[in-house]
Chains A and B, each alone.
Chain A
Amino acid sequence: MPDEATHARTFRALRPMVLARLMEVRSSLDHGLAQLDETGARVQLDALLSQLEGYLGAADPAPLRNFLRSFLTLRAAQGLPPDSLLQAAVAIGDTCVQIVQQEGGTTAASAELACALTRAGAVVTRLLVEHIAAELDRRTGELRALDEGAPS
């Protein structure tokens, strides 16, 4: 069975292909990415892929989570609604898995890597949902305070 380091190495080799595909479809992933120039979008997507590679290599979700907090804050500051963020993140994960399946064929190593990437995608999804839940709590509290006449 391939270990984490092997997954990370294989994914690193596929990253240019994944990045090229993501660049092709970036306007359907996230309108914030579509508005960026090519270099800007490439840097952001590559940063995300780099983090996914790190996760595959270390199986430690903490650095991925830290990175995603920043990524999310940026996207939110650009006005992207949270459910669009969720869709974009899942679409990026799906694209990674598709490229792995397409390039790796039916080998056991390819199946293992697809599984590891699916897990990484699930971590990303959970983090985003936690973020949306926290934002909902914050906004609900704010609304309650306004209703009760407290200063905003």
Chain B
Amino acid sequence: VTMSLRAHGESHVGKVRDTNEDAVIVDPETGLYAVLDGMGGAMAGDVAAQRARDVLHAFVVERRNAMEPAPLLTAALNAASSAVHSEAQARRDRKGMGTTAVACLVVDGDDGPNAKKAIIAHVGDSRAYLLRDRRLTPLTRDHTVVAELMAQGAISAQEAETHLYKNVLSRNLGAKAETRADLAEVALQPGDRLLLCSDGLHGFASHDALQYLVGSNEPPEQVARDLIDAALRGGGGDNVTAVVIEAGAPELPRSTQILRTSGALAWWSRREVFLATARERGVAQSPICAVLSPDEAIDIVAGNLCEAVFHDLEKSTGVNVWTYAENLAHGWLDQGGHYGHLAELLDMLAGAARAVIAELRGLDAALAVLVDTGVTRALQVADMAIGGVLAERLRAVEADLLRVHAAREAQEAREAPRAFTETPTIPWLRSARVEPAEPTPEVRAGLDAAHAAAHATLADRTLVASVLAALHRLAVDAEATAATDAARDVWDTRGAEDKGPAALFDAIDQARAALGHAVRQAEPAPDVAIATLRRLAAAQAELAIALAHVAIEAASPGAGRFDDLVRGTAELRSEVARNEARIAGFERRPPPPGDSTQRREAT
């Protein structure tokens, strides 16, 4: 059977720009698909993208039977770059124009014409993704200054988020006559989908949203439109273009087919049960519904979720529930609402869903299991969407914190060069500090004195005392295994009230504060104070990470084997009890006539 391909491309000017500088190629006959994103509004970005598109397309069409696919795409992108570069050089009003490009050429696979493979070449930050087994994986790495710095290990992912050159491309078509494209190759499998897109899509819609939309069972035409809508909902701050290529229709499992038809209908026909239970469970009393009348609250909050779940069951997607939950979260959090109320509301609605499933279970148990799975998944999607909104806000707060800390450090450096600035323990603002292997005698004395002073104030708390000892040990000991040993010691001294990592990290913070205070109280020479505090900060970061490892170690399969033994013993006990009951049954049973044992006993 020949693998059939379906593809569709959509482009939109977005909500901010006046012109669309993106260009697109969807040519199923040649097997060529591409997205190009022109640069420099005043410098004819649209001209660059269109010129590169035309040259790329013509080059591939003319030479596709004469060249191997990968060199063909590379040469075509070079030809496009050369054409844009020449035009930019020739006309002053077009100087500096350029474009990104991600191009995909689908050709027969290595196993013959029934298989297909996709060759992908890209320059710049337009991307290609592969959807397989419902996971969306990037096939390209952005050619931006920041991405290249990250690849070299010069900056962290966190620094990249706020880097000044975040959007500056390191490669494009047109800057030079020749360009350097990166290549990727994928042997396509039935059900795979490829997404090519400009940064107007991946910059304004989350990875989760892209994964859900591309992974839905909608045809490529609808998926491309949904993707554009998602980017517009996310702000639409740039031109947005998406090309979706589908390699054969995915074969739906039987359970999914049943859920899409009978399951979705069974859910929808019990809408009243859902709404009535939502009312009973107090949905209308949630602070989130405070501005609505009780009827409106049920109708809007519960009714819309019920409908979104129905559509998602019907289409095996999560996009409707995702949108519902994302809007709910934005609306509530924007007005200063707390996450706890969102979770409570979702739990009430989950309770209403369980009532529907319970009713269905009495009528058709097999269908009820499928609906239960589908609805549980839908509510999980709602949680994920809310998590996405919270994570977005967390990133914004992190960026603000970084700015504030950087400003403070800069100010302190101006006021007192080589001053020490405290940084929080975990997890995202950690900065690696390189310390000498051994502390100097003065610093060692400072560490000893600080440990003694802090211990004297906090010794009544065993866990904190143990953390103090661990921090002291790490600050003075440069051995590679010191952190793990120290973390194990701390782990072993936890009391019954100290379970869970939160207590551990609270203890680290308390110990750190006490040590910092002790160092400052001792008023050593500024250089010694700074070096002492730095060693303690490094020790604290090391201990935090080592403790997290120990926590995982404690819950690893090694520890799980104990649970297995406990379970196994319980099973054996049940087996013994069953056998004893059977023996007792045999003993109670009357003997058959002529049984010699009976005769002997009678005798």
Contact = CB atoms under 8 A, between A and B. Distances in A.
A20 interface: no
Interface residues of A, number: 62
A150 to B, nearest CB: 12
- Most B CB contacts (10 A, CB to CB) among A71, A106, A132 go to A132
B216 interface: no
A140 B556 CA distance: 34
- Most A CB contacts (10 A, CB to CB) among B158, B376, B422, B499 go to B376
Given A136-B390, A143-B404, A77 B206 contact: no
Contact of A73 (B134, B206, B377, B426): B426
B343 interface: yes
A67 B559 CA distance: 12
Nearest to A90: B384
A126 B383 contact: yes
B590 interface: no
Nearest to A129: B387
Interface stretch (B59-67, B176-184, B441-449, B542-550): B542-550
Contacts of A50: 556-557, 560, 563
A93 B392 CA distance: 23
Contacts of A106: 253-255
Contacts of B388: 83, 86
A101 interface: yes
B253 A47 contact: no
B394 A136 contact: yes
B40 to A, nearest CB: 32
B425 to A, nearest CB: 10
Interface in A59-99: 66-67, 69-71, 73-74, 76-79, 81-83, 86-87, 90-91, 94-95, 98
Nearest to B386: A129
B383 A125 contact: yes
Contact of A132 (B253, B377, B394, B557): B394
Interface in B296-343: 339-340, 343
Nearest to B207: A87
Q: Is the interface of A mostly helix, strand, loop or mixed?
A: helix
Given A74-B548, A125-B383, A126-B343, A115 B394 contact: no
Interface in A1-44: 1, 5, 8, 25, 28, 43-44
A8 B211 CA distance: 30
B68 interface: no
Nearest to A132: B390
B394 A139 contact: yes
B397 A71 contact: no
A1 B365 contact: yes
A111 B555 contact: no
A76 B430 CA distance: 11
Nearest to A98: B133
Contact of A28 (B135, B255, B404): B135
Nearest to B369: A111
23 contacts: A1-B365, A50-B563, A51-B560, A54-B560, A66-B500, A66-B555, A70-B501, A70-B552, A76-B426, A76-B428, A77-B548, A79-B428, A83-B387, A86-B391, A87-B207, A94-B135, A98-B134, A106-B253, A114-B373, A121-B377, A129-B343, A136-B393, A142-B424
Given A47-B557, A152-B405, 6 more contacts: A46-B557, A50-B560, A70-B555, A79-B158, A95-B133, A147-B404
Top 4 closest pairs, chain A to chain B, by CB: A70-B551, A133-B339, A76-B427, A83-B391
